[in-house]
Amino acid sequence: MSGFSAFRGGREAADPRLEITTLKGKTLLTLKTSFSDELHPLITKGRDTGNGYAISCRYYPCDEVEITAIQLGFEDSLKRGGGGKRKTDSKESMDAPTLAKSCARARTAVRRKALSMEADRMLTLTFKENVEDIDVAWDRFKYFSKLCRFRWGARWKYIAVPEYQKRGAVHFHLAIVGFFHVNTIRRLWQRAVGKFGGNIDITSPQKFGKKSWNPKRIANYISKYIAKNDSVDFNKRRYSSGGDIQLPEPQRGWLALGVPVIKVMAEVVEKLSRRQVTTIWESEGYFGITYVST
């Protein structure tokens, strides 16, 4: 009996994503970051055909699943990791595709971090004075984060994305997790900004309703600001994150060309999450990319 089939009879006993551990005599239920050995009968662990799709699947602790398929030809291969030196020295000299890829990488990183940390609250930090210098704004934010780490230790986890207000001032959108007293956050932010003055706003999760601040909604909300290319100058950081945010390792595989790729990907998502697919996205370019998620 497969892990998925056994799951339907009893989650804790058979689900391959769950394991029991002990700590000082206490029994804890923890979530593995790996999947079962087989994602799908048609997905193999290694590349066994010339043409096909390189599969990458992630299961997040908030029970969200995303799977990506990159179509490769016989002579194509994927190179993971960076190391290449940027050839452009200004934002204006970057062509549109290069700039779009840069934004896409940042958006992906922000989304994955928000899902991994199970963000459940939005925090907005603003300046009363018209602080337009992004370096000054990041400097004040860095001090604020330092104060928060001193106050809350490892509980302080965040993803921060800057944005310019209509009047030109910088403000920050943060994805955070857990309860923090609004008065304490305000006091620390005002201490960090000093003479500039500032205020904060926290949007807490709702128990019911479609507009509840769940990890996926927060991930989509905060990552959209990365797309505003004019919000961040060239070679300035597009976002910042802090705390111990562990991303799940992807499960990789290979799918031969000719099979219904979206159907297979949807079956994988529904198998792992027991939820319906809500997002299907396809791109056209040198490498065809298909993305499916809960």
Mean pLDDT by 10 residues, the chain (294 residues): 33 37 36 56 90 94 93 81 46 58 83 94 93 92 97 96 84 94 96 94 69 82 72 64 93 93 94 90 78 92
Measured between alpha carbons, how far is 209 from 185 in angstroms, rounded to an integer?
27
SS3 state of residue 27: strand
Q: What is the pLDDT of residue 1?
A: 35
Task: List helix spans (H) across 44-198.
Answer: 96-116, 134-152, 182-193
SS3 state of residue 64: coil
The answer to whether 74 and 51 have CB atoms below 8 angstroms apart is yes
Q: How far is CA 138 from the centre of its chain?
A: 21
pTM over the 0.85 mark: no
Which pairs from 211-214 meet CB under 8 Å and 24+ separation?
213/120, 213/121, 213/122, 214/62, 214/120
* 33 secondary structure, DSSP code: S
Q: What is the pLDDT of residue 85?
A: 44
Task: List helix spans (H) across 33-133.
Answer: 96-116
Q: What is the pLDDT of residue 207?
A: 54
Measured between alpha carbons, how far is 177 from 158 in angstroms, rounded to an integer?
7
